[in-house]
Structure 1
Amino acid sequence: MTRYQYHIFAPYRVCPLGAHVDHQHGIVTGFAINKGVDFWFTPNEDGQVHLESWTFDGFVDFDITQASQVKEKHWGDYARGAKYALRKRFILKKGITGVIQGSLPIGGLSSSAAVLVAYVMAFAKANDIELTPMEIVQIASEAEREYIGLNNGILDQSCIVLGKKEGLLFLDCDSNEYRIIKRNPKMPDFEIGIFFSGLTRSLVNSDYNLRVYECKTAAWNMLAYMEQPLKTFDKTFLRDIPRLTFEKTRIAMPQRFARRAEHFYSEYRRVRQGVTAWESGNIELFGKLCFESCESSIHNYECGSPELIAIYEIMRSLPGVYGGRFSGAGFKGACIAIVNPEYKDEIERELTKRYLEKFPEYEKTFKVYFVKPDDGARFI
């Protein structure tokens, strides 16, 4: 391999509790994991960016000093998005030459956010820009919202940048305050199972953005019924409306909007309970709450393909699985589970057997991995 000056590792992430609430300024939990994106690069003086991917075909070339043009619906859009968000704040003069590679299949682990974080860090390094961890989070998130077109919150980028191998990230997406809750010494060993359905998905083309709008519409309904002033849609969040207001107004609004709000408020409660369980070392309760989160994702948030629901139902019945849920937006992608490492072989064998009996067409693309928490994005 060509020798490059720098090497960034940006981990993938999992979110055991706090599903689908970051865009409504909720509270979330997460881990960075020991699989992710590796990016090797060398800065140059001419302002040209030349990128190669060992995961996708083709090359990407553009001038970092010029404004990003129309998206090309190509993996290079993520590098252009990082440039776009950085150029809003800084003058960029130096380009890079580099190669990027992912270590797991695409779908459910926020690989797009990991890639964006890597590009933001690389462009900043090349141009002698010092960024705090939260600045990296915010710039990468802005790139994904404003350039890529995914109306997400800061959960993905925060896990990827702020995660620590020795603990659970607890993040308030309203205040951006966070802490790492170290693993209680009483807690038994665990690993994280990742079960790829065999489907891949693009969130921009899924119902992800639609769900965001439904949550905001639920908030608007509540404010309107209570004759409260309405804010513009981009400044309307369920977090700003008390649960008591929801209880008073839920019967008056269309039920699809009431279900979205019910998921938000119940997930807020589950995250609070989960943090207490984690602090006390009660991994069984923590896992039970993860299962309850997935139930709400299915019935209140109404996401989940037949494939993901099948994986979820199978893993619920397996010994050694403390808890789990859909990962990512939950439309295709993967499921994650907190597991007892002693049962890994049995879990993989039974899950693979029962899933492929139901969906034999995914025999070549269904994958099972076991990973561990890791530190956030860093230079190697």
Structure 2
Amino acid sequence: MSSPDPFARHFGRPAAGSARAPGRVNLIGDHTDYCEGFALPVAVQWGTRVRVAPREDALIRVISEHILDPSVQPAAPAQPPAPNDLVPSPAPADLAHAAAARDADPGAEAYVRGVAELLARRGGYPPGWDVLIASDLPRAAGLSSSAALTVATALAICYAVGDALDRGECIELCREVEHSRAGVPCGVLDPAAALLATGGCAMLLDCRSVSTEQIPLALADCAILAVSAAPSRRLADSPYAQRRAECESALAHFRRLSPQVRALRDVTPQSARAQASQLDPLLASRAMHVVEENRRTLEAADALRRGDEVALGRLMNESHASLRDLFESSSPEVDRVVAALQSLPGVLGTRVTGAGFGGAVVALVRNSAVHAVEPIVRSIAAIANPAILCVVASAGARIDAD
């Protein structure tokens, strides 16, 4: 008889540590985190669970189960569902393949190995691990699966050895894995969202201090949709690092003017506009996006506090225009979907989300308009099976008793 414990089924023994971390969607505040600015992410209901047990040798063996992929969905029901209840169950054909184990893809294994190696440098951590990954994060929806994986892995390994990893240390470790293993010079947004989020809230993140304000999502008549509108991309193969370098070049100009400027977060919109003619036009555009995006993010947080979904949607639309025109991190395929949704009655705001350069879109939609979104996206999306998912604001990472 097969073991009901999936870890024991694969490795012949129980796990010593287990943790789960969610993905995230970012309402607003992109390319601000590595500029020490602000972001407004929401942790989603889907995530990644990692079970681990130490080995006596230095081998790291990783097995992956994608237990549920909601990215292929049946038609939406005819009647508008209740808020935060808009994700259909997967089609029976998808369930037939649920929990099919396979050796982890090279990317997942690299992230796990990166976490294990960085923890081993702290001392007291075995170099070898058996690792089982189980994820229900929809693929190609821009929900930051890598951060969910690294955070869950770090927490599970720490629990297995009886160590407590400070939250700040965990965020920095996961960011370092992205830098060293994925070649992505990202900021703290994704691991912070996976670790620190509170259920039912959007999280205003100060990326300088890594402090947060949990703001209740009082959107009684609205849904947050995550949409995959175009093919996904590897950030390491995108202009992401180039954009960060451009921001650093723009920052150098403002630092020469004022030594008090530590990051583009410290530049005011007035100063950015006044200095635009003194900068290379490309660098001026990059700086203006970051400076104004920080302003928009703080205003969006204030709109959430007031329960003003119309103002939040307007700021999301402005953010997309800036990412498209000033930061050039959108794409024609995404712009086409965003424009179509923005023209739909009941869609309050739509923008490219995450790091960009791929196909992820977030939309703030009246409940009465949710079912008009699907046919539009499916008719113009640049991929055959676009995910159209309703986000439930969920809690951050947790350690499980296995």
Q: Is the 8 A contact 1:107 1:332 kept in 2?
A: no
Q: 1:97-117 CA distances to partner (integer Å, 9 max, x unpaired)? A: 232133211352111111111
Task: Find the counterpart in structure 2 of residue 89 from structure 1.
Answer: 122
Q: RMSD between aligned alpha carbons? A: 2.5
Q: Is the 8 A contact 1:320 1:347 kept in 2?
A: no
Alignment of 1:256 with 2:276, yes or no, is: no
In the alignment, which of 28, 31, 42 is matched to residue 31 of structure 1? 42
Task: Find the counterpart in structure 2 of residue 65 from structure 1.
Answer: none
In the alignment, which of 198, 213, 223 is matched to residue 255 of structure 2? 223
Q: Which letter maps to 2:31? A: H
Q: Which letter maps to 2:52? A: F
Q: 1:268 to 1:205 in 2, by over 3 A?
A: same
Q: 1:134-166 CA distances to partner (integer Å, 9 max, x unpaired)? A: 332222112212333211110111111111122
Which SS does the other structure have where 1:134 is aligned?
helix
Q: Which letter maps to 1:203? A: L
In the alignment, which of 25, 30, 39 is matched to residue 19 of structure 1? 30
Give, in angstroms, the shift of residue 178 of structure 1: 1.1
User: What are the residue-to-residue correspondences of 1:24-173 with 2, within 5 Å?
Assistant: 24-46=35-57, 48-55=59-66, 59=103, 74-93=107-126, 95-103=128-136, 104-173=138-207
Matched residues in 1 for 2:365 and 2:121: separation? 43
Matched residues in 2 for 1:248 and 1:75: separation? 45
**Which segment drifts farther, 321-330 or 261-270?**
321-330
Structure 1: segments with no counterpart, 5+ residues: 61-71
Task: Find the counterpart in structure 1 of residue 89 from structure 2.
Answer: none
Task: Find the counterpart in structure 2 of residue 341 from structure 1.
Answer: 367
Matched residues in 1 for 2:130 and 2:106: separation? 21
Q: Is the 8 A contact 2:347 2:366 kept in 1?
A: yes
Task: Find the counterpart in structure 2 of residue 63 from structure 1.
Answer: none
Which SS does the other structure have where 1:373 is aligned?
coil
Q: 1:317 to 1:248 in 2, by over 3 A?
A: closer
Task: Find the counterpart in structure 1 of residue 272 from structure 2.
Answer: 246
Q: 1:88 to 1:248 in 2, by over 3 A?
A: farther
Which SS does the other structure have where 1:374 is aligned?
coil
Alignment of 1:269 with 2:303, yes or no, is: no
Q: Which letter maps to 2:363? A: A
Task: Find the counterpart in structure 1 of residue 80 from structure 2.
Answer: none
Matched residues in 1 for 2:201 and 2:353: separation? 19
User: What are the residue-to-residue correspondences of 1:304-343 with 2, within 5 Å?
Assistant: 304-343=330-369
Normalising by structure 1, report the TM-score.
Answer: 0.86
Normalising by structure 2, report the TM-score.
Answer: 0.81
Q: 1:10-57 CA distances to partner (integer Å, 9 max, x unpaired)? A: 111011111111010001111100012232334445554321123599
Task: Find the counterpart in structure 2 of residue 212 from structure 1.
Answer: 244
Which SS does the other structure have where 2:195 is aligned?
helix
Task: Find the counterpart in structure 2 of residue 289 from structure 1.
Answer: 315
Q: 1:56-97 CA distances to partner (integer Å, 9 max, x unpaired)? A: 99646xxxxxxxxxxx96431101221233234343126432
Structure 2: segments with no counterpart, 5+ residues: 1-5, 9-13, 67-99
Q: 1:255 to 1:312 in 2, by over 3 A?
A: same
Alignment of 1:377 with 2:377, yes or no, is: no
Which SS does the other structure have where 1:85 is aligned?
helix
Q: 1:76 to 1:2 in 2, by over 3 A?
A: closer
Q: 1:7 to 1:190 in 2, by over 3 A?
A: farther
